[in-house]
Structure formats: structure tokens, C-alpha cells
Amino acid sequence: MTDIVQTLDEQADTSAATRLVWKHGLIAAVTWAAASIVTIALPDTIKWGSVGLFSGLTGAGAAILLVLAFTVHTLGKTGKTIEHYGPWLIAVGVWFALWEFTTAKTGWLPKPFFSPPHGLLNVYVVEFDRLIVCIGYSLRLWGLGFFSGVTVGFLLGIALGWSRSFNYWGMPILKLIGPVPASAWIPATFYFFPTTFDASIFLVALSCGIPVAILTASGVSSVNKAYYDVARTLGADERFQILKVAIPASLPHVFVGLFMGLYYSFAILVVAEMLGAKFGLGWYIQFQTAYSGYANVYATIVIMAVLCSGIVKLLFVARDRLLSWQEKGLI
């Protein structure tokens, strides 16, 4: 009996120790360390630069993951979040190692069409100042186009969803021009706008304004009629019904339009900046493509992806806060 109890105690201790060690963290540390070793130990077929910097960063990442493997359970909610992304951290380490091996170390994926990760890192090191300026120019152009397009699209969508006569005339036109890519309007923009910058703002605004308008109209028109009846019974006028009933109830549709418009606007941003811009991420991509600087192109694409993902995250936060009343079952 004593032996059985002792065995169970040992198994319990082993199980507890296992739970205290984050298995995915250990494996991720190994894969990141492997990426670091591959980067620094094997010679490059062609010099790319920033080899030591990338190896040091991946090595530091491996050290951090190794520490987290034994301490993540003490970090509470943050630790749970880190554990959730454990398989992704493993995949990134494996990807870095394979990426390095197949490009810089063996040349199986040759230059200039492919770049190793430390080649992209070298772009950020060498072109840092220019890329910062391009990011600023692109965010200015995108911000002016996106927010003007969203504002007009939102107001137009409310009018289309609320007024039958306006919907009768406006919706067929909107559905007619909606499927047409914004880039197809480039010839007309050269005639109607005095500068290429104004034309670029219009193209970005058009690309995001149309989905916002269509989905806002859909949201307003699909609001339960009983809500309007209750509001009228309580003495609400038309302005109150629009501001306090139609718009709040249609916000889920509006945010779907915003997410769609955001992706469309970033896609058209590259095209818009090719109309004669002197700076911007789209201009930079075009400029580097002309000289076969594909590493610079890939590095810029990564920047655009990070910017777009960050803005999407902000939209999710705004949506969750503005639509918190849905969780309470208020409508």
C-alpha cells in the first residue's frame, strides 16, 4: 500500500513538473536557435548584409523563449496569451531556418527574385530614413482618402437605406459603378482633378466609400420596423429615429463595410501612388521594381501588411466598444 501511494505521489510530482514546463516554448526555442545557427554558421552564396544582426536577434529570441518555457505559467493572462501562440512561434522558427537555408545559404531560390530574412532586415537598416518618409506620405494619402470616403459613404448609405425615393435612383447607380475597380477611373481622374495627389485621394476614397455605402444602406433598411413603431409611439421625430434607432442598429453592417473598405483602400494605395507621387510605399515599390530591387519590394510589402493589420486591430477594438450594447441584449 505504501509503495502504491509513493508511486502515485511520484506520478503527481512528474505531472506537476510537466505542467510547469511550456513544451511549445522549449521547441520554439530550439527552432529559433537553429535559425540563428544556420544564419551565422553557413556562408552566404551572395553577400546580403546584416547577417550578424539577424543571427543575434533570432538567438535572443531563442533565449527569451527558453526562459518563458519555465516561467510563462507565472505571467497570468499574458502567459496564457503567449502559450496560445506557441505553435506559431515554432512555425516561425522553422520558417526562418528553411528560408535562410534555401536562399542565402544554398541559392536554391536565387537572387534577385528571392531574399533571405537577413536581406530584408538589411533593407530596413540601410533604407530606414527613406522608408520612414514613405510611410508618412502613404499614411497621409491613405488617411485623407479613407476617412473622406468613409464619411461620404456612410452618409450616402444612410440616405439610401432611409429614403425610398433616394434608394430608387441612387442604388442602381451605386451597384453599377461598385463592381468597377477604382483603378479603372484613373483616366477620368486626370481630367477632373488638378493634381495627381488629389486624384490619388479620390481613388482611395472611392475604393472604400462604395462598400461602406452599400452595407450601411443594407443595415439601415434591415432594421426591425418594430423599433421605429416603438419610437414613434413615444413621440420620436424622424431625426431621432435616424440618429438613435437606424444608425445604432446598422453599425454591425457599417463595420463590415469598413473592414472591406480598409483592404480595398490599401490595395488601391499602391496604384494611386504610381500616378506621379514622389514618395510613398507604393512609389517605393514601383521604383525598386524598375531596378530589380526585389528585397526592397518584399520589405515594403511586409511594412504595408503590418500597417494594415494594425489598423484592422484598431477597428476591431472600436467595433467591440461601440457594439458592447449587443452583448447586453439591448437590441
Q: What is the pLDDT of residues 287-320, one digit of tens each?
A: 898 888 899 999 999 999 999 999 999 998 888 8
pLDDT higher than threshold 60 for residue 328: no
**93 with 215, same domain?**
no
329 in a domain, yes or no?
no
Mark whether 203 and 257 lie in a shared domain.
yes
Average pLDDT value for residue range 19-32:
91
> What mean pLDDT comes out for the span 269-293?
84
216: in domain: yes
Query: Is the pLDDT at 329 greater than 60, yes or no?
Result: no
Q: 213 with 258, same domain?
A: yes
Tell whether 133 and 30 lie within a shared domain.
no
One domain, residues 184 and 310: yes
- Domain boundary, last residue among 63, 86, 112: 112
Burial 219-252 (b: 16+ CB within 10 A, else e): bbbebeeebbeebeeeebeeeebbeebbbbbbbe
pLDDT of residue 154: 94
Q: How many domains are contained in the chain?
A: 2
Show the DSSP H helices in 21-163 as ranges.
23-41, 51-71, 76-84, 86-100, 117-126, 128-162
Identify the pLDDT of residue 295. 92
In order of 28, 29, 286, 302, 318, the CA distances from 97 in angstroms are: 12, 12, 30, 19, 38
pLDDT averaged over every residue in the chain: 86
Q: Would residue 86 count as lying in a domain?
A: yes
Are 100 and 47 in a shared domain? yes
Cα torsion through 267, 270, 275, 278, rounded to 10: 150
Last residue of one domain, picked from the residues 86, 112, 138: 112
Cell digits of residue 278: 514622389
* Four-residue CA torsion sign, 187, 190, 196, 202: negative
* Mean pLDDT comparison of 75-84, 93-102, 187-196, highest-scoring range: 93-102
pLDDT at 72 over 90: yes
Q: What pLDDT, on a 0 to 100 scale, did the predictor assign at position 249?
A: 84
What is the pTM (predicted TM-score) of this model? 0.82
The whole-angstrom separation of Cα 143 and Cα 330 is 33
Q: Which domain holds residue 39?
A: 12-112
Which pLDDT band, with edges at 50, 70 and 90, does 198 fall under? confident
pLDDT at residue 123 is higher than 90: yes
Contact between 280 and 138 (Cβ < 8 Å) = yes
Is the pLDDT at 8 greater than 50, yes or no?
no
Residue 258 C-alpha cell reads as 469598413
Interval 94-99 mean pLDDT: 96
